[in-house]
Structure 1
Amino acid sequence: MKKVRLITDGACLGNPGPGGWACVLRYHEHKKEIWGAEPHTTNNRMELRAAIEGLRALKERCEVEVITDSEYLKNGITNWIHGWKRRGWMTAAKTPVINKDLWQALEEQTERHQTTWSWTKGHASHFDNNRCDELASLAAREQKSGSKAG
């Protein structure tokens, strides 16, 4: 089984506001960058979208290490989701889970792979995380201005 590293990040100008997401996929010496944007969203939705789209881009079952600077993303998919599902997608406070649609999509994608999750400090020394931040921020700015670089 191929071993892939997936590094993710999301950005939002305002919260809510125009947002962007990005991910870097690494397999040996191969590197693929993917990014996108949404007109009205939140930072947490963009963090989730980055992971979903990165996993979705893998064409076959892989052993994937997902590296994120979002504790919300890492804790949600590794810990909180089990309780949410047990309670019918309600939080411990008996309120509906925010971003349920994306949590369900992320769970569907993680089940396609053998997935582990790692946290890295954002805006620090992780080169690929910094690159994701740059791409996600650019996507959000382009979404806001209505332009596209390239």
Structure 2
Amino acid sequence: MIARMAERVIAACDGASKGNPGPAGWAWVVADGDEAVVRWEAGPLGTATNNVAELTALERLLSATDPAVPMEIRMDSQYAMKAVTTWLPGWKRKGWKTAAGKPVANQELVVRIDELLTGRSVEFRYVPAHQVDGDRLNDFADRAASQAAVVQEAAGSALGSAEPPAAPDTVRSGGTRRRAAGSATKTAPSSRRSTSGNSTRTLNAKFPGRCRCGRSYAAGETIAKNPDGWGHPECRVGAGAGVGGED
């Protein structure tokens, strides 16, 4: 359990799935009163959906914190938040069925989270993901979950792990991209190369960067758009898969 540090704990959690379903990971982070990271943990899930990863991150956070201490939890998953705050009471009344009469997806995780929330004071706060000057705790959890999904290894402060690598770029609320603060890389096209038929286009990277597979690419190397950024053309499998909504 995390030691009692303050009268109110500020935390964030996030999950990632590279393909949805695909290699997945989860992460949580706890901060002090100045929102400096105190402890964090991340872990692999093998192949799982984004929704499973998001719920697992929340379950692991609640399991690792003192239930007697009020907590604010920041998340960028509206599915996970609504599942445990808005939809859950109705699911329970209907015998764990949705409004359409179907079994609730990820019921085991939702039931466990419901048990962990019982009797404790938790305020959920939605924060948009991947924003310039966005919430830094959510950003930390996002990067840690993404790294765990790619490398499929556990990490965290208890293991002496370094801070997860910075994301290559950040999305403005309007949808355009610019280099994130502290980020070492950004990708941009220097020329376009057409591919046959309706295949995803490829470009020559103007800057070095890191692919979703964890390997780097050099400036001038051919890259393609993946579900979560730019990277090697061969790593764009599942580029059309979504990452939100119920399973």
Is 1:81 the counterpart of 2:85? The answer is no
How far did residue 133 of structure 1 move?
A: 0.9
* Paired position in structure 2 for 1:16: 21
Report the more deviating stretch, 128-137 or 53-62: 53-62
Q: Which amino acid aligns with 2:18?
A: L
Deviations 1:100-132 (A, max 9, x none): 000011111111521111100011111111111
**Conserved in 1, the CA contact under 8 Å of 2:44 and 2:154?**
no
* CA gap 1:52/1:139 in 2 versus in 1, 3 angstroms: same
Is 1:6 the counterpart of 2:11? The answer is yes
Deviations 1:40-89 (A, max 9, x none): 21111111111111111114511011110000011111110000000000
How far did residue 148 of structure 1 move?
A: 6.7
Aligned-residue CA RMSD (Å): 1.8
Partners of 1:106 and 1:7 in 2: CA distance: 15
Q: Which amino acid aligns with 1:14?
A: G
* Paired position in structure 2 for 1:135: 144
Listed as ranges, the gaps of 5+ residues in structure 1 are none
Q: TM-score, normalised by structure 1?
A: 0.91
**Conserved in 2, the CA contact under 8 Å of 1:65 and 1:116?**
yes
Extract structure 1 runs of 4+ deviating beyond 3 A.
147-150
Partners of 2:140 and 2:56 in 1: CA distance: 16
* Paired position in structure 1 for 2:178: none
Is 1:113 the counterpart of 2:123? The answer is no
Report the more deviating stretch, 108-117 or 13-22: 108-117
Q: Which amino acid aligns with 2:56?
A: R
SS at match of 2:100: coil
* Paired position in structure 1 for 2:99: 92
Q: TM-score, normalised by structure 2?
A: 0.56
Q: Which has the larger radius of gyration?
A: 2
Which has the bigger relative contact order, CA under 8 A and spacing at least 6? 1
Q: Which amino acid aligns with 2:151?
A: E
* CA gap 1:39/1:134 in 2 versus in 1, 3 angstroms: same
Partners of 2:138 and 2:96 in 1: CA distance: 30
SS at match of 1:55: helix
SS at match of 1:9: strand
Listed as ranges, the gaps of 5+ residues in structure 2 are 1-5, 156-160, 162-247
* Paired position in structure 1 for 2:32: 27
Partners of 1:16 and 1:60 in 2: CA distance: 32
* Paired position in structure 2 for 1:126: 135
